[in-house]
Structure 1
Amino acid sequence: MNIWHICIFELRRILKIRSVVINLFVLPLLLIFILGTALSSAMGTGKESIPDVVHVGIVQSAEATSSPVGEALNVFVAAPEVAKMLKVQQISSQEEAVNALKQGEINFAVILTSDTVKQWMAGEEAKLQWILGKDSTLNVVGQTLFTRFTDELNRQAAMVKVLGSEAMGTAAAQVDTKSAGQSNVTVTSPGQSDQSYSASQYYAAAMLAMFMLYSGMTTINSLFTEKDKRTLARLQAAPVGNGVIFAGKIAGNSLLAFMQAIIIVLMTHVLFGVDWGGHPWLIVLVCVLITLASMTLGVIVAFISKSAASATALMQSIIIVMTFISGGFTPIAVDFVQRISEFTVNHWALQSFLSMMLGSSLDEITHNMWMLGAVCAVLAAAAAVIYRKVGYRYE
């Protein structure tokens, strides 16, 4: 008996369980169809869309308003190309801005403080503070435009560092001039200019990542089943090492996860017209990485849990939380949550798939894949350490 025999036996055993087949192969397609159909009007149909005008509330302190930075900001928002995308409203305080956001009077708020002005005058990096609204698309537009403004501020601050404080007046004048000439500011969909993802594409990518992680739960059930039924002791009595038994089970569940990915990708393309992009081998590689993450996460949870029930509950909670904060159910605009999501498998898997769907550059696609690989490497290292300490044996 070798790893291959155990792998095939494990795969056959799992495929005989009707509930597993339904949960891993039928349920993802059903959810993709429901979510893609129900939210197609809200998310789009895959054609480029131009965002609405962003109603921006600007909060400035008295010192900031009369400073070169405040004057440059006023010139920036009054520039013709910027004014097409922004409708500015001056607000006296941060509390008033928050209330206006809650009531829907504005979509985005920008705060210019005295500290920001002092940082720029000292030649340091200056950053505007902003408060995000309810519409994630309008938040992106606002962040993009005002980041362009601060980039120019910081470029002038770097000049001051090199040329000395006597260049401050020239830098301030240049900021005004640059801000007024923002004719090159445009907002388009990511990737190709004539392409954006549809609701079916978005949820196909999100559900694929989530349900591939659910394959890790079959690994948990498989590992605990051998212990609970006391068949692991019989396997260990055979002339085969514990490592071979463990590797065979992981290999069988990995094949199951990869079969699941192939079926979901092909069926969504045939049934729902999902365009997965022009990089099939990169899709395969991303699926391999998600499979690795699913198996290692399942191993970690199985080895730190005392029973199959607790392990299954923990694994399910982890998957749901990772899917939620990564925007798998609905895109989340909260910046803090977005930062946390960058530590999850789902975030980088979803970004990898979406970047391929949008026809993004190969550098952007591979960056997302490298980050996904880094998360998988951390999980694999943790699983290896736990396996060496705990091991897979009957106790």
Structure 2
Amino acid sequence: MYELFIIARKNIKLFFKNIVLIPMFVGIPLFQTYMMSNMLGSEPSTGVVEGFVKLTLLGEQMGTALDFPMVSVLIQFVFITSVVLSATMMTERQENTYLRILASPIRKWKVVVGNLIGNTLVVLMVSSFIMLGSYLVFDISWGSSMALLIPFTILVAFAAASILYFIASFFTSPKVAEGAMSMIVILMTFLSGGFTGEGSLPRLRYLTFNKYAVDGFLGIIREQNIGVLATNALVLLSLAVLSIIAATIIYERRDLNG
């Protein structure tokens, strides 16, 4: 347990050591939401807005027009945070930091678990800052059930950290990994409709992590049937478990500094 605590704490300290990251990961999503609100504020309350982003507006029973873009932005930055964390983790592994800190051999599964704990906590904190900021600044509701919102947010943070950790395991260069993962994030955001609006590319959405995370949050916000949330949560949990197993197998076959 001590090793897990050390690795997780180090990941958290490394992320928050860069004071530029925190306002960027919270400020940019809120700025995007501000731009969206300005665009929608000059449009009628029903119909379709045409512009850089096409959004299908929702009736009062379905939520507000900002629900889908705000949630999409949240998931996008959940992934971006995970990209930065995974790249940082690779640098630490190359420098053999964990062995130097603990001064003893470490079981590789402990490195995987420790990294995932630290990364998940950081992603969860960034997500919470974005959600709180959107509520305070734009009065965006994240649903009336904290009993559903909190565990689902934790699950999304855990799944995102696990998936990006798995993707990073295929690379040995942090810079190459960060570039490749960033492209994957952009592609999944596009395919899920994050750049084009809810309802676009309906079939391709099912191939992305974003689809299940966004639909789960929207299910909470719009107070849809609990089955909607349960289905998306099960998919996210399955993706996270498979990613952890695969990443562990890959790292078991490598040196900690390889």
**Same fold by TM (over 0.5)?**
yes
Question: Does 2:243 match 1:379?
Answer: yes
Shift of 1:232: 4.6
Q: Which of the residues 335, 354, 364 maps onto 2:218?
A: 354
Q: Does 1:331 align with 2:197?
A: yes
Match of 1:123 in 2: none
Q: TM-score normalized by structure 1? A: 0.57
* Bigger strand share: 1
Q: 1:318-376 CA deviation, whole Å, 9 max, x = no partner?
A: 11111111111222655xx3212112110111111122222222223323333333333
Gaps of 5+ in 2: 49-53
Matched, 1:207 2:73: yes
CA 1:297–1:365 in structure 2 vs 1: closer, same or farther (change >3 Å)? closer
Aligned to 1:71: none
**CA pair 10-365 structure 1, distance change in 2 beyond 3 A:** closer
- The 5 Å alignment of 1:148-227 reads 194-227=60-93
- The one-letter code matched in structure 2 to 1:254 is T
Q: CA deviation at 1:280?
A: 1.8
What corresponds to 1:393 in structure 2?
256
Gap change, CA 1:318 and 1:228, over 3 Å in 2: same
Tell me by how many angstroms 1:272 deviates.
0.6
**Which secondary structure state, in structure 1, belongs to the residue aligned with residue 35 of structure 2?**
helix
Q: Shift of residue 17 of structure 1?
A: 0.6
What are the superposed Cα offsets for residues 236-290 of structure 1, whole Å, 9 maximum, x if unpaired?
A: 7435434334432321121111111211112211111001112222222222222
Give the match for residue 290 of structure 1.
156
Q: 1:14 deviation in Å?
A: 1.4
User: Does structure 1 conserve the Cα–Cα contact (< 8 Å) formed by 2:88 and 2:174?
Assistant: no
Residue 253 in structure 1 maps to residue 116 in structure 2? no
Equivalent residue number for residue 274 of structure 1: 140
Taking the aligned partners of 2:129 and 2:256, their CA distance within structure 1 comes to 34
Q: Which residue of 1 aligns with 2:51?
A: none
In 2, Cα distance between equivalents of 1:383 and 1:320: 22
Counterpart of 2:232, as a letter, is N
2:190 and 2:106 map into 1 onto residues whose CA distance is: 42
The equivalent position to 1:343 in structure 2, one of 197, 207, 211, is: 207
Per the TM alignment, residue 136 of structure 1 is displaced from its structure 2 partner at its CA by: 8.3
Structure 2 residue identity aligned to 1:262: S
1:363 alignment partner, SS class: helix
Alignment partner of 1:24 is 2:25 = yes
> Once superposed, what is the RMSD of the aligned Cα atoms?
2.8
> Hey, what does 1:243 align to over in structure 2?
109
The letter of the residue matching 1:350 is: V
Q: Which amino acid aligns with 1:7?
A: A
Measure the CA separation in 1 of the matches of 2:161 and 2:186. Answer: 16
Q: Taking structure 1 as reference, are residues 242 and 340 closer, same or farther at Cα in structure 2, changes over 3 Å only? A: same
Q: Which amino acid aligns with 1:17?
A: N
Listed as ranges, the gaps of 5+ residues in structure 1 are: 53-134, 139-187
Q: Distance in 2 between matches of 1:310 and 1:230?
A: 19
CA drift of 1:299 comes to 1.7
Number of aligned residue pairs: 252
Give the 3 Å change call, closer, same or farther, for CA 327–41 of structure 1 in structure 2: farther
> Is the Cα–Cα contact under 8 Å of residues 83 and 181 in structure 2 kept in the other structure?
yes
SS at match of 2:21: helix
The one-letter amino acid of 1:36's match is S
Q: Which amino acid aligns with 2:135?
A: H
1: CA distance between counterparts of 2:221 and 2:161? 26
For residues 138-192 of structure 1, give each alpha carbon's deviation from its aligned partner in whole angstroms, at most 9, with x where no partner exists. 9xxxxxxxxxxxxxxxxxxxxxxxxxxxxxxxxxxxxxxxxxxxxxxxxx95xxx
1:356–1:231 distance in 2 versus 1, CA, 3 Å: closer
Give the alignment's TM-score, normalised by structure 2. Answer: 0.83
